[in-house]
């Protein structure tokens, strides 16, 4: 039995999101699959200029229903290990 840890869970979740996103892109042109492959975008861009140093960070996330299904499936597989 495999020792469960946080890094493996995060890896499984990331791979599930990636697999779901790829499936959504491949199925985007299939009639009737628009509901599963439609994505919602979220952007976050914090920035600061503190005289001594400044930073600018851009985070862009696109989630679709298939991405979420992939992440849930990955977590389910992780729990089964």
Q: How many domains does the chain have?
A: 1
Assess if residue 43 is contained within a domain. Answer: yes
Cα separation, 61 vs 11, in Å, equals 17
Q: What is the pLDDT of residue 74?
A: 95
Q: What is the pLDDT of residue 45?
A: 93
Residues 6+ apart with CB under 8 A from 27: 33, 36, 37, 66
Assess if residue 75 is contained within a domain. Answer: yes
Q: Annotate 7-50 with DSSP letters as a single string.
A: HHHHHHHHHHHHHHHHHHHHTTTSTT-HHHH-EEEEEE--EEE-
Say if residue 11's pLDDT is above 90: yes
Q: What is the pLDDT of residue 81?
A: 84
Assess if residue 59 is contained within a domain. Answer: yes
Q: Residue holding tokens 């696109």?
A: 62
Assess if residue 54 is contained within a domain. Answer: yes
Residue 48 tokens read as 């600061």
Say if residue 66's pLDDT is above 60: yes
Assess if residue 49 is contained within a domain. Answer: yes
pTM, rounded to two decimals: 0.76
Assess if residue 33 is contained within a domain. Answer: yes
> For the residues 7-32, what does the mean pLDDT come to?
92
Q: Which domain holds residue 11?
A: 6-80
Say if residue 1's pLDDT is above 80: no
Assess if residue 1 is contained within a domain. Answer: no
């Amino acid at each position: 039995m495999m020792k469960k840890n946080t890094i493996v869970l995060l890896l499984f979740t990331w791979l599930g999101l990636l697999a779901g996103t790829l499936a959504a892109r491949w199925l985007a042109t299939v009639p009737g699959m628009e509901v599963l492959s439609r994505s919602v975008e979220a952007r976050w861009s914090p920035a600061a200029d503190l005289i001594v140093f400044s930073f600018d960070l851009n985070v862009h996330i696109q989630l679709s229903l298939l991405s979420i299904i992939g992440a849930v499936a990955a977590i389910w597989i992780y729990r089964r290990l």
